Amino acid sequence: MDFSNQVAVITGSARGIGLAIARRFAVAGAKVVICDIDETGVAEAAAQLSGGALGIKADVTSVDEVTALFDQTMKELGRVDVVVNNAGITRDTLMLRMKEEDWDMVLDINLKGSFLVTKAASRIMMKQRSGRIVNISSVVGLTGNAGQANYSASKAGLIGLTKSSAKELAARGITVNAVAPGFIETEMTRAMPDAAKEEFLKQVLINRPGTPDDIASAVMFLASDMASYITGQVLIVDGGLTV
Ligand code: NAP
């Protein structure tokens, strides 16, 4: 795929799935913006990308930092073609034990953060009359999961945001889609208890955990010209976990 002369902004891209997506866009010729709350991680990730990348520290829950992210991107790179709402966290526990702050933090980062980034990016994309937004949801946004009421609600909400923004932005040449990963090996899933991991993996038809690159492939497709007639959709990438 050729993303030459395109600018791709990926949130939460200092590591994990976001970094894999950033690497793939860089290899495909895009000018990549690494955005993450982890300042050191941003600098390290940006330095290791082929051709270099623009690294911007930004907390997606802050309107000011999201505004500054797109202001700097426009100043230095002049346009925004692709935005991937990837920044996300978990704070897992059963609902009866879940603290209000666990709920608020997960909803703030995973859902409100994507809204703020989408709003800021779509202003630019509407003027360009083109753009691709890809939201990283999760299969648990479709199925629910015990111990993840906050996380699955945020990821289900992100699917609602995807469909609503697809409806608002299609006439301006902007597509908005979601990718729903299953079990992917990253630091996020490394924190899960082994028994829970084994239980998940038993249900995966393709007998292995997913890799960040499996998700990056789906994102690249949805951001490419090949997907120009696809919008408001959720692409499940879970090795058959939810079949
Ligand atoms: P990860 O390794 O934990 O990476 C997430 C990145 O997001 C981290 O660098 C993190 O920085 C950053 N981040 C957290 N809060 C942020 C904020 N407020 N603003 C900007 N950046 C922030 O997670 P991952 O596994 O790659 O997950 C990436 C996305 O895929 C998430 O949305 C996740 O929900 C989704 N997903 C993952 C899986 C899976 O199995 N791994 C499955 C389904 C969906 P810090 O570490 O410094 O906080």
Region 141-166 average pLDDT: 98
* Residue type at position 144: G
Q: For residue 196, what pLDDT band results from cuts at 50, 70 and 90?
A: confident
- pLDDT band for 191, please (50, 70, 90 cuts): confident
In this prediction, residue 83 carries a pLDDT of 99
Confidence band of 48 (pLDDT split at 50, 70, 90): very high
**pLDDT of res. 112:** 98
Ordered domains of the chain (ranges, CATH): 7-237 (3.40.50.720)
* Ligand 1 centroid distance, CA of 17 (Å): 7
Ligand 1 is surrounded, with C-beta below 6 A, by 11-12, 14-18, 36-38, 41, 59-61, 86-89, 109, 113, 136, 138, 181, 183-184, 186-189
Minimal-distance CA residue to ligand 1 atom 7: 12
Per-residue model confidence (pLDDT) at position 127? 98
Mean model confidence pLDDT for the chain: 97
- Catalytic residue numbers read 151
pLDDT of the residue at 68: 98
* Full DSSP string of 102-169: HHHHHHIIIIIHHHHHHHHHHHHHHHHT-EEEEEE--THHHH--TT-HHHHHHHHHHHHHHHHHHHHH
Cα-to-centroid distance, 11 and ligand 1 (Å): 9
Q: What is the pTM of this model?
A: 0.98
- Asked if residue 200 has pLDDT above 90, the reply is no
Atom of ligand 1 nearest to the CA of 61: 18
The pLDDT of residue 193: 86
Contact 226, 202 (CB under 8 A): no
List the residue whose alpha carbon is closest to atom 3 of ligand 1: 188
Distance (angstroms) between ligand 1 centre and the Cα of 51 equals: 24
Residue 16 contacts by C-beta under 8 Å, 6 or more apart in sequence? 186, 187, 188, 212
**CA nearest neighbour of 66 among 32, 110, 36, 23:** 36
Task: Tell me, in angstroms, the distance from the centre of ligand 1 to residue 93's CA.
Answer: 18
